[in-house]
Structure 1
């Protein structure tokens, strides 16, 4: 084997990535780099479905509990950090594992990401205030009117992505798409991509069960503990926004739980849509662990 190999394990939330990544890492005696945009924050664990303490002890993990919630973390920051993590692992091992559901982070690591222009804080603050006042539909309407090219392929339910596009538009007068080059950065290691999913009814069952487990584990208490930080991007996300609405008296607890389940199912669908566009991903049923391991053993040996 001439080059080092990064195994990238992608797929929708609740498909079983964490357990499988640990199994793969144990097989190759290596470590896991999380490609999840929220599990890096120390203050939130239940709603982000972080690996358990036992799982974290089984194999080394990077980009878990690495940042304070007040820190802004972006795909560009992840790219730089993940390349450092990969170099550290490759200094000891021939194989590393990356596991997660944040498609933009995985793409940034595998292909590189363009440097975006700086956005003055005033623009960000003003747009955040508008979003707080008028909600997601206002963001969507702004971009439909002002940047239809971006909107046509955007994650239209993701306020962070939409706010970012509006920030760039306000700061530069140009679409965020103009700053995304078509060029791919060539990495000096092999990348083997595997995607896992489940039949829809199984995945939805897993999602519903996971949300119930989060509630039993104390999700409401976790959300209360981060109330002072609710304006940060890390908390503008499924599982936290709905409980904020419950704490604000906008939803009953039962309605908030049901909303988390619905929004998580929608998120899983968007994740699949994103990953299905990547022709390099070889797909497996998440239950076919033997087939996945056989494929990876062959791929790494090549």
Structure 2
């Protein structure tokens, strides 16, 4: 059986993924499917760099702003939503174009995920509360006594992964390492073409800084002010949107605006660096573009896509 085609446009933040995905969708009759863990929420559209209404009107876009900020969207949940959108695109004779910088989301549909059960919110909250109370080093030591395999794998400074290992152990009675050794589930059968944008860091960092300045000019501070008035739980995923924390500190009178913007830009650059490293080592790219996306690359990219779709 011939598998249907699907494209992935991945890369660090500010590398030009959304613009490229839109051009590909228009050229090849595609549907752009969001693979960004922040853009799925109906909040902070400026800070999360969600495509504009004008862009989304030029081609079908799916899974943008579809969940309220009060919800948690795991990679497994996103994988189910994305698989349904891919099926709908194929049924309509269109090409799914998945784009975003959340590597685990992309892995969910391309390779599948370990079958870890959903963790109850109460257990998740208890794990994070205990971590905050104990501090990372003491928490890591306690985890090591219960789950030495996972503790050995984890950096004590990585709060998110420490809490994840603890909550899985608490909720399931099994180590996260055991779950990760299980056969993966949820992979979508497709003829994948994976394109990674990997521009040189100086150019990427400059783009990160410029984009955040543009966000500020477009009203990002007021956007954060409205978001903070919602008084949501502090550990929700959307709260990790780049720049939210720094601008919130400014609104609270703890940072002057110039310092807050500089800190947000630094956080964005740090995140872009981590993303680039992940994609280089964790995603098997069909095509790597080692420069910032620009109009001059379009002809070459389109040719490679046509060759791929014709020869696979």
Asked whether the two chains share a fold, i.e. TM above 0.5, the reply is: yes
Q: Which among 295, 299, 302 is matched to residue 293 of structure 1?
A: 302
Q: Is the 8 A contact 1:75 1:108 kept in 2?
A: yes
Partner SS state of residue 98, structure 1: strand
Q: Is the 8 A contact 1:160 1:233 kept in 2?
A: no
Question: Paired residue for 2:288?
Answer: 283
Q: Is the 8 A contact 1:7 1:193 kept in 2?
A: yes
Shift, 1:156, TM fit = 8.2
Residues 148-177 of structure 1, C-alpha deviations (whole Å, 9 max, x = no match): 755777698875454323321333454323
Count of aligned pairs: 299
Structure 2 distance, partners of 1:100, 1:48, is 11
Question: Paired residue for 2:262?
Answer: 258
Question: Paired residue for 2:237?
Answer: 233
Shift, 1:189, TM fit = 1.9
Structure 2 distance, partners of 1:155, 1:264, is 22
Q: Is the 8 A contact 2:143 2:151 kept in 1?
A: no
Shift, 1:203, TM fit = 0.5
Shift, 1:180, TM fit = 1.6
- 144-153 vs 25-34, which moves further: 144-153
**CA 1:250–1:126: 2 relative to 1, 3 Å:** farther
- 19-28 vs 186-195, which moves further: 186-195
- 38-47 vs 11-20, which moves further: 38-47
Matched ranges for 1:1-302 at <5 A = 2-130=2-130, 138-139=135-136, 142-143=139-140, 146=143, 150=150, 160-172=160-172, 174-181=174-181, 183=183, 187-227=188-228, 228-231=231-234, 232-277=236-281, 278-284=283-289, 285=291, 286-287=293-294, 288-302=297-311
Residues 100-156 of structure 1, C-alpha deviations (whole Å, 9 max, x = no match): 00000000011111232343443322333355667xxx3476347736755777698
Q: Is the 8 A contact 2:4 2:90 kept in 1?
A: yes
**CA 1:87–1:96: 2 relative to 1, 3 Å:** same
Shift, 1:247, TM fit = 2.5
**CA 1:222–1:153: 2 relative to 1, 3 Å:** farther
**CA 1:101–1:111: 2 relative to 1, 3 Å:** same
Shift, 1:22, TM fit = 0.4
Partner SS state of residue 205, structure 1: helix
- 242-251 vs 291-300, which moves further: 242-251
Q: Is the 8 A contact 2:48 2:242 kept in 1?
A: no
Structure 2 distance, partners of 1:157, 1:78, is 27
Q: Is the 8 A contact 1:139 1:163 kept in 2?
A: no
Partner SS state of residue 31, structure 1: strand
Structure 1 distance, partners of 2:94, 2:61, is 16
Q: Is the 8 A contact 1:168 1:176 kept in 2?
A: yes
Q: Is the 8 A contact 2:11 2:275 kept in 1?
A: yes
CA RMSD of aligned residues (A): 2.6
Unpaired segments ≥5 residues, structure 1? none
Structure 2 distance, partners of 1:296, 1:64, is 25
**CA 1:167–1:221: 2 relative to 1, 3 Å:** same
Structure 2 distance, partners of 1:226, 1:98, is 28
